[in-house]
Amino acid sequence: MKIFDYAGVIHFHSSFSFDGHSPLATILRAANKNGLDFLMLTDHDHLRARDEGWERWHNNTLLIVGQEISPRFNHYLAFNTVSAIFYPKDAQNIPPQKYIDEVTAQGGFGLIAHPDHGGAPMFHVKHYPWNDWTVSGYKGISVWDFMTDWQSSLQGYFKSLLSFLFPAWFLSGPKPVTLSRWDKLNQTQKITGFGELDNHATRNKILGMSFAAFSFARAFKFISTHVLTEEKLSGEGPKDKEGILQALLAGRAYFALEYFRKARGFSFFIEQQDKFYQMGDEFKFSDKAILNVSLPAEALVRVLRNGLLTQEERTSRLSRQISEPGVYRAEVYLKAYGKLRPWIFSNPIFIR
């Protein structure tokens, strides 16, 4: 089966957000320059970009407009809603199940944003974690958030300066607590994992000079999410939007740090009785199931079953027989500049 791999960025803010500092035209130029196929915009609490006609193809990049529902805690990325959902930013006691249900009632779907965000106390950056795990009805969870990862490295002025100058060198990958929770959730349901950026192009002042901490031309070089579709994107905006969102919801996706090496060419699938099962697929185990991982470069591949490591090998192509059912996913670590660095994280394949 022919599969098409499209790379994009989920969760970022334009100047339509109260705390965004970059106009959409500038962001889209940066996306085109970085070869991104799609963007999923999530300005705070409104859909103005969609209302003004920005949701369409812009040269080679498709802009999809959603929103970030963002009270004090429990931020939620909502897509395909009829209208925006707003709560005051300082509202602290809103049960997130309320807006999860409201998104669903509007025919949309939602993704949990930066669930283990810890902020950066040294620089007075507040923490914005998800703190209510009794909820249901969400379709995905951010497993690797650029800002959560990068801000956790801001410890001490010298290290923080180096981290600002060379951010990719200081990214440590998804938090273990986030991965563990995601693995546990997938034991009983399918929850799509994705990578997010959460960039605002925030402006700072040093010695009276103003500059953007992360311009989008720079930020788009880091964490992206790839979706796999069975049909090539057509150039027809509404149809292609539906194809990308459905692939994401189905879990046909992986996320990667693209700075040191592009991830396109990665594949993870299981073959059983001449049938091929991709990420997000679910099937019943019989026998002679073969798990396969292919990479565009040699790296350290880790295969996990139900969240536990079952195999680790440095290779560009791995193939192994599976002897029992479970929830299987892959992690890949690339050696760059003398150190193993987090590179690619797959969504799972479910063998029940």
pLDDT of residue 149: 96
Q: Tell me how far apart the alpha carbons of residues 201 and 333 are, in angstroms, rounded to a whole number.
A: 28
Q: Which residues, including other chains, have CB under 8 Å from residue 236's CB and lie 6 or more apart?
A: none
pLDDT of residue 19: 85
The full DSSP string for 245-278 is HHHHHTT-EEEEE-SSS--TT-EEEEEETTEEEE
Q: Tell me how far apart the alpha carbons of residues 41 and 300 are, in angstroms, rounded to a whole number.
A: 33
Helix (H, G, I), strand (E, B) or coil at 94: coil
State residue 23 phi and psi, 5-degree precision: -70, 155
Mean pLDDT by 10 residues, the chain (352 residues): 93 92 96 98 95 97 97 96 87 90 98 95 88 97 97 92 94 98 97 97 57 86 97 97 98 98 98 96 93 98 98 98 96 97 98 94
Q: Which of 49, 52, 5 is nearest to 27 (CA)?
A: 49
pLDDT of residue 203: 61
Report yes or no: 24 and 51 within 8 Å, Cβ to Cβ.
no
| C-alpha dist (Å) from residue 190 to 20, 70, 96, 162, 341 | 33, 24, 20, 39, 27
Q: Tell me how far apart the alpha carbons of residues 260 and 202 are, in angstroms, rounded to a whole number.
A: 24
Q: Is the dihedral of CA 141, 145, 147, 150 positive or negative?
A: positive
Pairing mode, if any, of strands 140-145 and 192-196? parallel
- The domains of the chain, with CATH numbers, are 4-257 (3.20.20.140), 267-351 (2.60.40.10)
Half-sphere exposure of 327 (CA within 13 A, CB side): 20
Report yes or no: 251 and 283 within 8 Å, Cβ to Cβ.
no
Q: pTM for the whole thing?
A: 0.95
Helix (H, G, I), strand (E, B) or coil at 87: coil
- What the block records as the tokens of 19 is 């705390």
- What the block records as the tokens of 64 is 């999809």
Helix (H, G, I), strand (E, B) or coil at 70: coil
Q: Which of 252, 327, 326, 262 is nearest to 299 (CA)?
A: 262
Report yes or no: 344 and 263 within 8 Å, Cβ to Cβ.
yes
pLDDT of residue 204: 60
The DSSP output letter for 193 is E
Helix (H, G, I), strand (E, B) or coil at 62: strand
pLDDT of residue 207: 45
CB atoms within 10 A of CB 157: 10
Q: Which of 317, 315, 291 is nearest to 303 (CA)?
A: 291
- What the block records as the tokens of 139 is 């379709």
pLDDT of residue 211: 52
Longest dimension (CA), the chain: 67
- What the block records as the tokens of 6 is 């499209």
Cβ density class 336-348: b for 16+ within 10 Å, e for less: beeeebbbbbbbb
